[in-house]
Amino acid sequence: MTVDLRQKLGGRASRRHLLKGSAAVGAGTLAAGRLAGLAAAQDATPAASAATGQLEVFSWWTSPGEAPALQALFDAYSALYPDVEVVNAAVAGGAGVNARAVLATRLQGNQPPDSWQVHVGRELIDNYVVPGYCEPITDLYESEGLLEAMPQTLIDQASQDGEQYSVPVGVHRGNGFWYNRQVMEENGITVGETMSIEQFLAAAETLQAAGIVPLSLATKDTFAAAQTFENTLLAVAGPEKYDQLFKGEADWDDADVRTAAETYGQMLAFVNEDHPALTWDQATAMVIEGNAGFNSMGDWAYGEVVARDAVENTGWVSHPGTNGSFVLVVDSFTLPVGAPNPENARNWLRVLGSREAQEAFNPLKGSIPARTDINREIFSPYHQWSIDSFANDALVPSCAHGQASSPAFQQAFYDALLGFVDDQDVDTLVLNLQDAAALDAEMAS
Ligand code: GAL
């Protein structure tokens, strides 16, 4: 077996759901009629529009590409619940670094919003479910048919002890590599369907000689330093070892880890000097505006491309050497314990799980829908490519985006990689990662 996360089986219903379905069929037409009536009632705008009060939604979607995508979700909600005031409580900062700190303070002070953005996997479970900040929404998964509509992998990562705790709205591919088509053409660089590390390094030499920043990087958003390394690690170590490392099943003092660090060091020789002053979307904008050749970034970068009307001139491949793998970064929303407006929050989650909302949001955000029963035709060539990659490639979780490891390891990973960008000391990096993994193992035991 390659990576166990490959069990992504689109549309596989859980046993529980199958049982429920067959019971309904067994009860005959009366039950079927009642189910149809219920569905109609859920769709009926008059009942829905009676809702009033507020809905406070907490996220970190504030960049030029993220904000309109979030607005599309608000619009989908407001179309059904026009009398509810939607309060956008977004806190700026890529990958939620700042938002999570603010949220932690609010949760500790018993002041949750009505719903907050969270990555499924360890971030959801360790940070919020285990400490008791989230209500289970298993009934909502059942009533909305989400157990059938979403791949088992996503459901599993949103679940703990058989209960679901968040609704995934989109699936980002973390190992994107974006380039400016005109810049490549002007410099005689042909980018094929895939790119190896060697091919990137050769292209980078050419761009540097022409006075163009080969690779844009932004380390003001601390996640970007960690993300570029995890992608490079995936390229060198492959999905199986990558997975083992983050699960604590392989030692960080490994030849592949060292090679990945050295390779990352080679790539860092080609980045913009002002990277500590830039946010991730500014680094992506450098490619869009022709001030850099490439940017390694999850496909929220595609949201920036859409927002800046640069689809035609922007190309993409997998981060060098990672073709055949899909780094999972799945955004979802929760139902807090003690939500000020729990009914509005539940309706918000119903909307997020719907095909309509996912079809409105994901084209703007760059992610693909979490539902598999969407209309593929409305999506861009990039999205089609990512949908195919999700269906066929090895799926591995992102550590930079909280899915692969404990929050403590994620923080140590950020710190270690920020340090590495400065000193490029492979031994120190390996030691720091080993220490973090040892601490993690100790905490878990
Ligand atoms: C990720 C998140 C994306 C995008 C990105 C940059 O963690 O999943 O939706 O917002 O951060 O902020």
What does the pLDDT look like over 308-347, one tens digit per residue? 999 999 999 999 999 999 999 999 999 999 999 999 999 9
Residue 182 CA to ligand 1 center (angstroms) comes to 27
Which residues, in sequence order, are CB contacts of 324 under 8 Å at separation 6+?
A: 239, 318, 393, 394
Q: What average pLDDT does this structure show over 285-311?
A: 98
* H-helix or E-strand spanning residue 117: strand 115-119
Average of per-residue pLDDT across 341-354 = 98
Query: From the alpha carbon of 93, which atom of ligand 1 is closest?
Result: 12
Residue 309's pLDDT is 98
Ligand 1 pocket mutation pick from 119, 327, 328, 331 by most atoms within 8 angstroms of CB:
331
**AA letter at 36:** A
Contact 122/444 with Cβ under 8 angstroms? no
Taking CB atoms within 8 Å and a gap of at least 24, the contacts of 43-49 are 45/80, 48/80, 48/81, 48/347, 49/80, 49/81, 49/82, 49/83
Q: H helices then E strands: how many in the chain?
A: 20, 13
State how far the Cα of 135 lies from the Cα of 409, in Å rounded to an integer.
26
Mean residue pLDDT across the chain = 91
Kindly provide the residue ranges of all beta strands, DSSP E only, lying in 152-238, ordered along the sequence.
159-160, 163-164, 166-173, 176-180, 213-216
> Does residue 171 surpass a pLDDT of 60?
yes
Confirm if 178 and 294 have CB atoms less than 8 A apart: yes
Distance of CA 258 from the midpoint of ligand 1 (Å): 28
As annotated, the residues of the chain forming the CATH 3.40.190.10 domain(s) are: 49-170+330-379, 176-327+397-444
Task: For tokens 């406070």, name the residue.
Answer: 56
Residue 361 has pLDDT above 50, yes or no: yes
Ligand 1, atom 2, lies closest to the CA of 95
Flag whether pLDDT at 19 surpasses 90: no
| Long-range own/partner contacts, residues 253-258 (CB < 8 A, 24 or more apart) | 253/430, 253/434, 257/233, 257/430, 257/433, 258/426, 258/430
For residue 16, pLDDT beyond 60? no
Residue from 172, 220, 327, 362 whose mutation best tests the ligand 1 pocket (most atoms within 8 A of CB): 172
d(CA 34, CA 55): 30
- Mean pLDDT for 47-74 is 93
Q: How confident is the model at residue 50, as a pLDDT? A: 87
Longest dimension (CA), the chain: 75
418: CB partners within 8 A, 6+ apart: 219, 222, 225, 226
**β-strand partners of 171:** 330, 368
Pocket test for ligand 1, best of 329, 358, 386 (most atoms within 8 A of CB): 329
Q: 176-327+397-444: CATH homologous superfamily? A: Periplasmic binding protein-like II (3.40.190.10)
Distance CA 434, CA 445 (A): 17
Long-range CB pairs of 352-360, under 8 A, 24+ apart, other chains included: 352/73, 352/167, 352/169, 353/140, 353/141, 353/144, 353/146, 353/149, 353/167, 354/76, 354/144, 355/149, 356/76, 357/72, 357/73, 357/76, 357/77, 357/169, 358/169, 358/170, 360/72, 360/73, 360/75, 360/76
Distance (angstroms) between ligand 1 centre and the Cα of 245 equals 23
| Residue 14, both tokens | 């859980």
Averaged pLDDT for residues 169-173: 98
Going by C-beta distance under 8 Å and a sequence separation of 6 or more, which residues neighbour residue 347? 48, 51, 77, 80, 81
What does pTM read for this prediction? 0.90
Candidate of 117, 300, 302 to mutate for ligand 1, largest count of ligand atoms within 8 Å of Cβ: 300
pLDDT band at 48 (very low <50, low <70, confident <90, very high): low
Which has the minimum average pLDDT: 32-41, 46-55, 184-193, 378-387?
32-41
261-290: average pLDDT? 98
| CA-based end-to-end distance of the chain | 27
| Position 98 pLDDT exceeds 70 | yes
Q: What is the CATH number of domain 49-170+330-379?
A: 3.40.190.10
Residue 399 CA to chain centroid, in angstroms? 11
Q: Are 115 and 349 in contact (CB under 8 A)?
A: yes
Measured distance CA(2)–CA(278) in Å, rounded: 37
Evaluate if residue 420 carries a pLDDT over 70. Answer: yes
Q: How far is the CA of 46 from the centre of ligand 1 (A)?
A: 35
- For residues 124, 128, 131 and 135, what is the CA-based torsion angle, rounded to 10 degrees? -100
- What's the rounded Cα separation, in Å, for the pair 59 and 441? 30
Instruction: Output the CA 97–ligand 1 centroid distance in Å.
Output: 10
Residue 400 CA, closest ligand 1 atom number: 7
Which residues form the pocket of ligand 1, taking CB atoms under 6 Å from any ligand atom?
60-61, 66, 94-96, 119, 172, 280, 300, 329, 331, 401
Residues 296/327, Cβ–Cβ less than 8 Å: no
Strands lying side by side in the sheet with 292-296: 213-216, 292-296, 176-180, 314-318
Model pLDDT, residue 21: 30
pLDDT tens-place string over residues 238-248: 999 999 999 99
Q: What is the DSSP letter of 205?
A: H
* E strands, 376-434, in order: 394-397
- For 364, the token pair is 């703007």
